[in-house]
A and B are shown apart, each in its own frame.
Chain A
Amino acid sequence: MSQKSLSPEAIKYDSGVAWKALFQAAFYLENRYAAGERANVLSMTNIQYQQDEQRWSSLMAAAQHGNERDYEQLLSELCTFIERYLRSRIGSHQSLNDWTQDILIAIHQGRHTYNPKRAIRPWLFAIIRHQTIDGMRRQSAYQKMIERQIEQTTCTVNEGYSEIEEPLIEGYLFKALKQQHREVLTLTKINGLSSREAARELGISEVNVKVRVHRAIKQLKKLLESDSDE
């Protein structure tokens, strides 16, 4: 069998092809691995999701029969879940604890309305959404928060603006709002300024501030709804 000698160009060409094939194989394997990992993570998340769903549902059913221990476990789990949920969406400011507690109280007051034959998440998210928006509308809570923050930072409301706003930026739902909506919400609902003061700060009319606040809350509510639907 005669061996055919290869020219340097042919060797160069062949090695180029080999490297290309090697890279392609590596990319292919990497992609397969990543896809496999993703699939694993997704299936794990899905399993976790279903496990949570079933466990919470059965714990709530037990709570409806008066089982204190199961109810305490459920509320503890929900407390962690709600805090994490709100922190990731709205940001980690100080009202978060108040809102979480309000939501727990609402869950307690409405526990008789949960039907154990149905999924618990739609019921739970309806309460979370409503309480969060309601909490945002309650001026007094914000005022208290501002007072606490002023005590901590010992600066004036206006000076503390950027520091107060900072944690809000963490919440991706806040990021999704328009700049003008974020501004007006931060000034009125977080910094506790009146509509007139916010109007002066932004250089717009008082009516315009009210309209923007209304639209911002409406938009945030929509975002929360679509987010929890996902």
Chain B
Amino acid sequence: MSSQQQLIKSLAAQLKPTSPLMNNNLLTLLWVLGSVLYCLAIIHLLGPIRDSAYSQLLTEPRFMLEMFTGLTAIVLTSVAAFRHTVPGALSGPVKMTARVAVLLWIGLNIYGLFNPAIEPSTEGYRHYCVFETFLYALPPLLIAGLLARRRMALELTPTGFSLGLAAGMIPAWYMQIACMYAPEHMLKFHLLPAIIVAVLGALLLKGIAFFNWKKPGSQYTPKQ
């Protein structure tokens, strides 16, 4: 019997039934909803919200567009990230659309440096917004990591980065409403922590893989 036949025999021996995975889109929807609600709640609970934010949202179309693009970027990045945890589930167009949405959101804010959507002001300034953005993103990231652990992310770094970016963008996005409006402030103190969380996401998945991840070929030893 060849080594491959032996391997096949040993893999098939005492095969246990597997429980099916939750649908990717449903999982993404639940995670995004849960994370957004959690971030909104904690931001509202732990600090004041800029007074004029909601009225600006209704009266300033550019600001509305920025917020809408941000939310779209969060949803699409989450979709791409969770699809990345199942082999072959992430298609090129979805990946590309998510990237474009994130770049568009960042692009709109960079454009805002020269031509701001609303008049920049220090109204609603939160002293620790940079730390808040970072810390509030951690629980959603951990939950995403745990959810991904049950799945099979083949490319750990891009998957972890996408999960981290999605988690980091949620508080960064809502800080546009909660904190002062100034594109430079947004890029430095809201978006930068989100990118740090994305890097942390990549490290988290690598870390989980290092300790007990079901990385293909890393744990299995065929029966002799």
Residues on A close to B: CB < 8 A? 63-69, 71-72, 75-76, 79, 97, 100-102, 104-106, 108-113, 115, 121-127, 130-131, 134
Q: Is the CB of B8 within 8 A of A115?
A: no
Closest A-chain residue to B7, C-beta based?
Answer: A101
Q: Is the CB of A68 within 8 A of B217?
A: no
Q: Is the CB of B9 within 8 A of A72?
A: yes
Interface presence of B21 (CB below 8 A): yes
Closest B-chain residue to A64, C-beta based?
Answer: B18
Q: Is the CB of A66 within 8 A of B216?
A: no
Interface presence of B220 (CB below 8 A): yes
* Complex CA distance for A102 and B5, rounded to whole angstroms: 13
Q: Is the CB of A111 within 8 A of B18?
A: yes
Q: Quick one: which of B15, B152, B217 contacts A63, CB cutoff 8 A?
A: B15
Q: Is the CB of B19 within 8 A of A112?
A: yes
Q: Is the CB of B8 within 8 A of A127?
A: no
Name the distance in Å between B10's Cβ and chain A's nearest Cβ: 10
Q: Is the CB of B7 within 8 A of A104?
A: yes
Q: Quick one: which of B13, B21, B220 contacts A112, CB cutoff 8 A?
A: B21
Q: Which residues of A contact B12 (CB under 8 A)?
A: 68-69, 71-72, 75
Q: Is the CB of B87 within 8 A of A130?
A: yes
Q: Is the CB of B11 within 8 A of A113?
A: no
Q: Is the CB of A65 within 8 A of B21?
A: no
Q: Which residues of B contact A100 (CB under 8 A)?
A: 4
Q: Quick one: which of B11, B16, B86, B89 contacts A75, CB cutoff 8 A?
A: B11
Q: Is the CB of B3 within 8 A of A97?
A: yes
For B, the interface residue count at a CB cutoff of 8 angstroms equals 30
Within 8 A of A (CB), among B32-57: none
Interface presence of B142 (CB below 8 A): no
Q: What 10 additional pairs, Cβ within 8 angstroms, besides A104-B7, A131-B216? A: A66-B16, A72-B8, A100-B4, A102-B216, A102-B217, A115-B86, A122-B87, A122-B89, A123-B89, A127-B154
Q: Is the CB of B154 within 8 A of A65?
A: no
Q: Is the CB of A105 within 8 A of B11?
A: yes
Q: Is the CB of B88 within 8 A of A109?
A: no
Q: Is the CB of A108 within 8 A of B220?
A: yes
Q: Is the CB of B220 within 8 A of A109?
A: yes
Within 8 A of A (CB), among B69-93: 86-89
* Complex CA distance for A125 and B216, rounded to whole angstroms: 14
Q: Is the CB of B15 within 8 A of A105?
A: no
Name the distance in Å between B39's Cβ and chain A's nearest Cβ: 29
Q: Which residues of B contact A68 (CB under 8 A)?
A: 12-15
Q: Evaluate whether A64 and B87 lie within 8 angstroms (CB atoms) in the complex, with A101-B4, A102-B216 already known.
A: no
Q: Which residues of A contact B214 (CB under 8 A)?
A: 109-110
Name the distance in Å between A110's Cβ and chain B's nearest Cβ: 4
Could you show 22 A-B contacts with beta carbons less than 8 Å apart? A64-B18, A66-B15, A66-B17, A67-B15, A68-B15, A69-B12, A71-B15, A72-B8, A97-B4, A100-B4, A105-B217, A106-B216, A111-B18, A112-B21, A113-B21, A113-B86, A115-B86, A122-B89, A125-B88, A127-B154, A130-B154, A130-B155
